[in-house]
Amino acid sequence: MPIVRVPRESDDKYRRGVLGVRTGSNMYPGAAVLGVDAAARTGVGMIRYLGPDVPTGLVLQRRPEVVTAPGRVQAWLLGSGMDAEKRSDAETSLLRSALGDGVPCVIDAGALDLVPEAGADTIITPHAGELASLWARVGVTIDRSSISDDPVHWAIATAQRFGVTVLLKGARTIIAGPSAETISVTASSSWAATAGSGDVLGGILGALLATNATFVADEATGILSQVAATAAYLHQAAAARASGGGPITALDIADSLGPTIADLLSRNAH
Ligand SMILES: NC(=O)C1=CN([C@@H]2O[C@H](COP(=O)(O)OP(=O)(O)OC[C@H]3O[C@@H](n4cnc5c(N)ncnc54)[C@H](O)[C@@H]3O)[C@@H](O)[C@H]2O)[C@@H](O)CC1
Ligand SMILES: Nc1ncnc2c1ncn2[C@@H]1O[C@H](COP(=O)(O)OP(=O)(O)O)[C@@H](O)[C@H]1O
């Protein structure tokens, strides 16, 4: 089943899928801009960005098509650019209410502390350090380098322990679901190891999830893992295209998503 959904004549912005985004903070406003920009470039009917004033202003400056009014969404992207230790109670309860909304969620960075409360239709996107912190919350001490040394083991163990789909970031990104086959996506270069690159991945994943939300109910199909693997693939392919062998910024990755997706679709059409 194709995960990148090409809009049809019968589509409108709502039928394509709306992504709700609660990311960014006054400390890390850029993460909100990066995730929203990447989601828009990946292709989605609409984005509702709901966050603090500073990131909201910056998001609207970069992407005026984003809607900042609350309303129905088909998937949520939560946590990039937040700090779980500094989050207010009000922000925590807004994240909890998104998790309880009955739609699939991506949980990143500063919302990963809420993973023990997440439902089965959740994809989490930790790097090794964030995964170590998540395990520490349930009383298991494991250091970041042990996770990096055996990412397949830790991705599977996390999926099984928390009942969610795991996308463990790194040069080799590992995707594991509680019952799905494990998938590995290896980057063709390491220029993507740059600040905000993971925030861009979150946006790609959120958009793919929102546009596939109607198929997610049946986890037996392994669709969450396929969505996650497609996001990781697009991220590294867009990074490679933007780089051409030289340095890139996180926004460069987002900027090259359109042509990267067009290439992929034209290859699949033949
Ligand atoms: N432009 C932005 O707004 C960005 C926001 N970001 C957000 O920033 C938050 C924190 O993410 P991180 O992955 O950095 O958090 P982590 O908590 O995983 O990383 C912090 C770790 O890095 C270590 N560290 C810090 N500076 C270091 C240095 N110069 N050399 C070696 N080790 C160093 C610290 O001791 C700590 O262990 C997240 O919410 C994330 O989404 C990042 O994505 C970067 C870009
Ligand atoms: N050495 C590497 N080679 C290729 N890609 C990498 C490498 N290290 C990290 N990445 C990718 O870059 C992104 C980094 O995400 P993350 O660690 O969350 O950074 P940030 O918090 O700054 O956005 C992830 O998509 C990860 O897979």
* The model's pTM: 0.97
Positive/negative CA dihedral, 5, 6, 8, 14 = positive
In DSSP notation, the chain reads --SSPPP-TT--HHHH-EEEEE---SSSHHHHHHHHHHHHHH--SEEEE---HHHHHHHHHH-TT-B-S----SEEEE-TT--TTT--HHHHHHHHHHHTSSS-EEE-GGGGGGGGG--SSEEE---HHHHHHHHHHTT----HHHHHHSHHHHHHHHHHHHTSEEEE-SSEEEEE-SSSPPEEEE-S-STT-STTHHHHHHHHHHHHHHHTHHHHT-GGG-HHHHHHHHHHHHHHHHHHHHHTTS---HHHHHHTHHHHHHHHHHHHH-
For 66-88, how does the pLDDT look when each residue is reduced to its tens digit (9 = 90+)?
999 999 999 999 999 999 999 99
Alpha carbons 226 and 231: distance in angstroms, whole number: 9
Mean pLDDT of the chain: 96
Quick one: pLDDT at residue 86? 96
**What is the tens place of the pLDDT at every residue in 165-213?**
999 999 999 999 998 899 999 999 999 999 999 999 999 999 999 999 9
Q: Which of 23, 37, 62, 80 should be mutated for ligand 1, with most atoms under 8 A from CB?
A: 80
Regarding the beta carbon of 129 and ligand 1, being less than 6 Å apart is answered: yes
List pLDDT tens digits, range 97-108.
999 999 999 999
Q: Which residue has the higher pLDDT, 76 or 220?
A: 76
Residue 150 is predicted with a pLDDT of 98
Q: Which of 23, 26, 28, 253 has most ligand 1 atoms within 8 Å of its beta carbon, as the pocket-test mutant?
A: 28
Backbone angles phi, psi at 166, to 5 degrees: -115, 130
Ligand 2, atom 2, lies closest to the CA of: 171
| pLDDT-based confidence at residue 215 (cuts at 50, 70, 90) | confident
Using the predicted structure, report yes or no on whether residue 221 has a pLDDT greater than 70.
no
Please report the atom of ligand 1 found closest to the CA of residue 31.
3
pLDDT value at residue 218:
62
Is residue 190 in contact with ligand 2, taking CB distance under 6 Å?
Answer: yes
CA 40 vs CA 56, 150, 200, 204: distances in Å: 15, 34, 11, 8
pLDDT at 252 over 70: yes
Task: Decide: 205 in ligand 2 pocket, CB within 6 A.
Answer: no
Q: What is the pLDDT of residue 220?
A: 59
Residue 222: predicted pLDDT: 86
110-165: per-residue pLDDT in tens? Answer: 999 999 999 999 999 999 999 999 999 999 999 999 999 999 999 999 999 999 99
pLDDT score at 2: 86
Q: What is the pLDDT of residues 33-76, one digit of tens each?
A: 999 999 999 999 999 999 999 999 999 999 999 999 999 999 99
- pLDDT of amino acid 214: 84
**Choice from 166, 197, 248, 249 to test ligand 2 binding pocket (greatest atom count within 8 A of CB):** 197
Answer whether 74's CB lies under 8 Å from 97's CB.
Answer: no
Prediction ipTM score = 0.95
Q: Domain 13-259: give its CATH code.
A: 3.40.1190.20
Q: Which atom of ligand 2 is nearest to the CA of 173?
A: 27
Q: Domain ranges in the chain?
A: 13-259
196 touches ligand 1 (CB under 6 Å): yes
Q: Which residues are annotated as a binding site for AMP?
A: 169-173, 198
